[in-house]
Amino acid sequence: MNKKVLVIGEMREGELRNLSFECLAAARKIAGEGEVVGALFGENSQQRASQLIQYGADRVLVSEDDNLKKYTTDAYRQAVIQLCNNENPESIILGHTSMGKDLAPQVAAELQSGLISDVVDLEVEGDNVIFTRPIYSGKAFEKKQIEEGPIFATVRPNNIPALEKDEARNGEITSVDLSIKDLRTIIKDTVKKSTGGIDLSEANIIVAGGRGVKSAEGFNTLYELADILGAGVGASRGACDAEYCDYSLQIGQTGKVVTPDLYFAIGLSGAIQHLAGMSNAKVIVAINKDPEAPILEVADYSIVGDLFEVVPLLKEILKKE
């Protein structure tokens, strides 16, 4: 298989997100001996473009058009469509992030192509690319392929390992003129809600609390544990609904999907909607006082006990390490 694959990179606060490198790894697999073309929009794209080359792109197209400084559906859709029309890629790959989830269906609809979202793995068999994606809130996986038109997919973070960085790789970086017009949305200012801590979708360790944590003060203990571990803090919807923490921490079917190496599930029952967001974590440690709690069935290690006794002990031990 020798395909041309277009990868839309994603920046956050002037830095490339790791997921962009994972998308490149997926693209390299699809392209075979073909070409992987990276695309990057917004502030700092020119400086960051060489990183895409180092992680597998053959060349990169960048645009620092004022309208692309911050993501808006309208502007990015126009930009990606123009690149697709110019480049005619046989495959298009994006991250399955808030941006990818919003942008990919719109581009697919305009290109009248299929779209396979939330891909966690892929195999190439001859000319066919077979994608694996979770269904039924992560209870099962299905294999899918697009038989006609561009192969278009979004890739879930932390599932397809990035290629090793190769600083010796060279490739052309080209500034492209895109015509972005008739915008219905313009971002004037961004006001960020500060939750502090590490970005959950890219965290290697997550300490997540549930309704069992009982209060916002209880969550402070989890923040302390997370600090010691260098972890991000997440939550069940139960904890968010009870106002112990902000909804931006919610993990699950209607929250964030995370795949850290280590996930502490503390005082949360493990409802199927929560599992949908974290069951792909490599190692799950549950702390729950109920020996029948469903989370214990998916946990690799379980501590049955009162979190208000277990977590302080854990902190003490970890501090000594």
Which 224-253 positions form the footprint of ligand FAD (CB under 6 A)? 236-239, 250-253
- Work out which of 34, 89, 255, 260 binds ligand FAD, going by CB under 6 A: 255
- In this structure, are residues 48 and 150 in contact, taking their beta carbons and an 8 Å threshold? no
Beta carbon of residue 321, minimum distance to ligand FAD (angstroms, whole number) = 23
Is 54 annotated to bind ligand?
no
> Between the CA of residue 12 and those of 28, 142, 244, 274, 310, what are the distances in Å?
23, 31, 27, 26, 36
Task: Name the segment binding ligand FAD (CB under 6 A); options: 35-43, 83-91, 156-164, 264-272.
Answer: 264-272
Q: Is residue 34 part of the contact set for ligand FAD (CB under 6 A)?
A: no
Task: Name the segment binding ligand FAD (CB under 6 A); options: 65-73, 139-147, 219-227, 283-291.
Answer: 283-291
DSSP letter at 256? B
Is 274 annotated to bind ligand?
yes
Beta carbon of residue 212, minimum distance to ligand FAD (angstroms, whole number) = 3
- Work out which of 211, 224, 298, 315 binds ligand FAD, going by CB under 6 A: 211
Task: Name the segment binding ligand FAD (CB under 6 A); options: 98-106, 123-131, 141-149, 271-279.
Answer: 271-279
- Indicate the pairing of strand 283-288 with strand 301-304: parallel
SS3 152: strand
SS3 8: strand
> Between the CA of residue 186 and those of 67, 182, 183, 218, 262, what are the distances in Å?
8, 10, 7, 40, 39
Q: What angle do CA 232, 243, 100 make, to 5 degrees?
A: 50
> Between the CA of residue 242 and those of 121, 129, 172, 245, what are the distances in Å?
36, 44, 52, 8
Number of residues engaging ligand FAD in binding (CB under 6 A)? 28
- Work out which of 69, 271, 298, 315 binds ligand FAD, going by CB under 6 A: 271
Is 158 annotated to bind ligand?
no
Closest alpha carbon to 52 in 97, 101, 84, 6: 6
* CB-nearer residue toward ligand FAD: 232 or 255: 255
| Interacting residue ranges for ligand FAD, rule: CB under 6 A | 210-212, 236-239, 250-255, 267-269, 271, 273-274, 277, 287-290, 293, 306-308
Known binding residues for FAD are 211, 236-237, 250-254, 267-274, 288
